[in-house]
Each structure stands twice: as structure tokens, then as C-alpha cells.
Amino acid sequence: MELFLPRPCAGCGGETSAGGVLCAACQHHLRQIPRRVERPQPLGFPAWALGPYSDTRRGVIIAMKERGHQAVRAHLGAVLAAGIDYLRARGDIPETALLVPAPTRASSARKRGGDPVTALCQAASARLPGWDVVNALMTAEGSADQSQLNAAERTDNMRSAVRLLPAARTLAGRSVLLVDDIITTGATLRASAARVWAVGGDVAGAIALADA
């Protein structure tokens, strides 16, 4: 049926071509080179975002996370892979590394039909030979919702909320690229990096779809 009735664009709600998930304008908007992200409290490793948290990116990320839009997840995986290729070509990150999704609560992943950031990493990994995905981190179920906290509270919350999963043991001696959907204060990435370092992994950097 979609051959005749295209679905609305996941970014702006406008018209797409038959079978498409994003309109031409939103696809163009997502084609930005990674840019360095800095925060008042240093992260301790380089981080990049694939663009600002614009209306378009917000719409696409919501479709990926809250609406379980599998086609959007696949499309954004290709966008992520292109960003990683760019950084690799510049020598900013290693030729190969492990993709480690940012932590999430198991309950949140179940509600969303699977963790969207993990799906994003898997879609990117399929386009990047040698870049495997390792689900090494999780967020404790009883931790506070980050969206309700200020910057200092987010740091304190994530320091104890991020936990290691059994697969984390495979990170020892390996280069790791942390992946998230949005970088806000950087608290989640700092806490994630601390856990990776604790098991002997080398955090080569972090990359996100958007910088808020």
C-alpha cells in the first residue's frame, strides 16, 4: 500500500517518496560532518556530534526512540557509519574499534521494542567491517530520570547508575567508541567511560546523533 500512499517524513511530517522514511530536505539536513563537542566539565576524551539538536533531528530521534520506527533506525545507522568513516579517514579515531551503546534501563528497552541506540550501532556496524557492537553497559532500574535533573545532579546520578554487563569483560585492551543519541551535559558519557576504563578498555572517543 505504501507504494501508493507514502508515509509522512519522520523528521518534519512532510511528504516523502514512496517507500521513503525522510523527505529530501531532511535527508540533506542529516548530511553534516561530525563536529567536536566541548563541555564546561571536560569529558576526558574527544566527542563528536553529527549535528545540532534541531527540529529535524528531534523529530527523527523521537521516531527512532519513542515510536520504534525500524526504518528510521536503519537510516540513522547509515548516517552514523558515514560519520565514523569521516573521523577514521581524518585519523581522529582508530581504523577499527568496538561500538558501545550508551546505557539504558532494561525496562525502557523493552517498552521501545529493543534499545534504539543498540539498533543504531548494529545498523552502523553492518556498514563498517571490523566494528563490532558490545552491549557492555546498563542503567540501574531505580536511578532517577536524567531529564528531570540539573547538570550537577545528572553527574551524581549517573556516577552510580551506570553498571557493567557481563560482555564488558571483552573490552579489555580494546579501543572503544561510545555511542549515544544526544549529548547534553556529558554526564552519561563520563560515567560510561569510567566503567570502560575500569575493565581495561581504551575510550577512543564518543559520537552522538545530536548535540543539545
Residue 4: per-residue pLDDT: 52
62-111 pLDDT tens trace: 999 887 688 899 999 999 999 999 999 999 999 999 999 999 999 988 98
pLDDT at 134 over 90: yes
- In this prediction, residue 6 carries a pLDDT of 72
Burial class (CB within 10 angstroms; exposed 0-12, middle 13-18, buried 19+) of 163: middle
Residue 111: CA atoms inside 13 Å, Cβ hemisphere, count? 7
Residue range 165-176: average pLDDT? 98
- CA-CA distance, 139 to 158, in Å (whole number)? 8
Torsion sign, CA atoms 67, 68, 69, 74: positive
Going by DSSP bridges, is the β-strand pair 47-49/98-101 parallel, antiparallel, or unpaired? unpaired
**Amino acid identity at 190:** R
> Could you tell me how far CA 150 lies from the centroid of its own chain?
21
Which 3-state string (H, E, C) describes the chain? CCCCCCCCCCCCCCCCCCCCCCCHHHHHHCCCCCEECCCCCCCCCCEEECCECCHHHHHHHHHHHCCCCHHHHHHHHHHHHHHHHHHHHHCCCCCCCEEEECCCCHHHHHHCCCCHHHHHHHHHHCCCCCCCECCCEEECCCCCCHHHCCHHHHHHHHHHHEEECHHHHHHCCCEEEEEEEEECCCHHHHHHHHHHHHCCCEEEEEEEEEEC
Contact assessment for residue 204 and residue 176, using Cβ atoms and an 8 Å cutoff: yes
Model confidence at 144, in pLDDT bands (50, 70, 90)?
A: low
In this predicted structure, the answer to whether residue 143 has a pLDDT above a threshold of 80 is no
Q: Letter for the amino acid at 56?
A: T
Instruction: Give the pLDDT confidence of 3-22 residue by residue, as tens digits.
Output: 556 788 999 999 988 678 89
Q: Which domains does the chain have, with CATH numbers?
A: 34-211 (3.40.50)
Question: Residue 2: what pLDDT?
Answer: 47
What is the pLDDT at residue 123? 97
